[in-house]
């Protein structure tokens, strides 16, 4: 009986010490939430509408809501609204705009949507900011869809890229450098260095740590995600013009 009593006393003592330690241990710091981009002040009458949605979600993809600012696993056809952020791990995602223009996000990438808006004139304004990883943007040609009045910008660092219909680019970026490959169409990039036209089949490399003129080479190096991008562009254009898919 004495042995049993000693064992019981020891167990109770250990349990009491553990409880005391847990109660007096310092709190672990809470994980800071990933803040969604805040929409800028807009003139009265402009409408924040869901003119974009996720058309593909594969693997590790998360979406931060513009309201609760917490990342969650989205489903296909989830609406994308102003302020949303998409980040990927070992996965990829595609966002489709109303006119069938598309944004594709490669693995281990982050993009934000600082502006998705319908103006009183009917013009759709879309702005996407690349924060990390690989991003493709392909605007639908105007001979397929009448999108001439729409406005699209791709932002990264202090640079702003304006694309015209048929514009097709690939952005690869890390903390210090961004490489913008002009795959097709026309566009213009503005930044601390000034303004520059984007010529097809050229790669523009930007130093993100200091304002400087971008380096330009007359070639585009292949990326493993290029095949996915090429197939997706062809699919969306076919989806619009094919009589089997009336719109």
pLDDT higher than 90, residue 148: no
pLDDT higher than 80, residue 20: no
Q: Higher confidence at residue 59 or residue 245?
A: 59
Q: CB neighbours of 156 closer than 8 A, spacing ≥ 6?
A: 129, 130, 131, 171, 173, 178, 180, 206, 208
Number of H helices, E strands in the chain: 2, 15
> pLDDT category, 28, cuts 50, 70, 90?
very low
pLDDT of residue 11: 41
Signed CA dihedral, 39, 106, 133, 163: sign only: negative
Q: Kind of pairing, strands 124-138 and 151-156?
A: parallel
pLDDT higher than 70, residue 201: yes
Query: pLDDT > 90: what percent of the chain?
Result: 60
pLDDT of residue 9: 44
CA distance 177 to 173: 6
For 114-125, what is the mean pLDDT? 86
pLDDT of residue 27: 29
Count of CA atoms in the C-beta half-sphere (13 A) of 10: 6
Answer whether 130's CB lies under 8 Å from 124's CB. no
Determine the 3-state secondary structure of 108 from DSSP: coil
Neighbours of 4 (CB within 10 A): 8
Q: Is 96 exposed, middle or buried (0-12, 13-18, 19+ CB in 10 A)?
A: buried
Q: CB neighbours of 55 closer than 8 A, spacing ≥ 6?
A: 76, 77, 94, 95, 96, 102
Answer whether 94's CB lies under 8 Å from 105's CB. yes
Q: In whole angstroms, what separates CA 22 from the centre of its chain?
A: 41
Lowest mean pLDDT among 38-42, 148-152, 199-203: 38-42
Neighbours of 139 (CB within 10 A): 26
Residues 146-151: contacts with CB under 8 Å, at least 24 apart = 147/99, 147/101, 149/121, 149/122, 149/123, 150/99, 150/123, 150/124, 150/125, 150/126, 151/123, 151/124, 151/125, 151/126
DSSP state of 164: -
pLDDT higher than 80, residue 106: yes
CA distance 109 to 107: 6
CA distance 153 to 201: 20
């Amino acid at each position: 009986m004495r042995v049993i009593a000693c064992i019981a006393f020891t167990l109770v003592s250990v349990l009491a010490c553990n409880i005391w330690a847990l109660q007096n241990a310092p709190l672990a710091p809470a994980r800071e939430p990933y803040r969604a981009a805040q929409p800028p002040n807009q003139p009265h009458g402009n409408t924040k509408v869901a003119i974009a949605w996720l058309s593909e979600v594969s693997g590790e993809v998360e979406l931060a809501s513009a309201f609760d600012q917490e990342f969650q696993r989205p489903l296909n056809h989830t609406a994308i609204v102003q302020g949303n952020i998409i980040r990927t791990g070992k996965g990829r995602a595609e966002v489709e705009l109303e006119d069938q223009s598309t944004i594709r996000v490669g693995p281990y990438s982050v993009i934000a949507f600082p502006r998705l808006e319908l103006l009183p004139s009917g013009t759709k304004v879309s702005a996407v900011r690349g924060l990390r990883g690989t991003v493709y943007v392909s605007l639908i040609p105007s001979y397929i869809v009448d999108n001439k009045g729409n406005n699209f910008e791709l932002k990264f660092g202090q640079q702003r890229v304006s694309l015209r219909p048929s514009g097709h680019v690939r952005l690869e970026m890390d903390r210090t450098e961004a490489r913008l490959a002009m795959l097709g169409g026309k566009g213009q990039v503005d930044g601390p260095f000034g303004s520059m036209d984007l010529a097809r089949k050229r790669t523009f490399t930007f130093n993100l740590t200091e304002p400087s003129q971008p380096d330009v080479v007359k070639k585009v190096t292949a990326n493993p995600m290029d095949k996915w991008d090429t197939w997706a562009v062809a699919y969306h254009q076919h989806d619009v013009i094919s009589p089997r898919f009336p719109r």
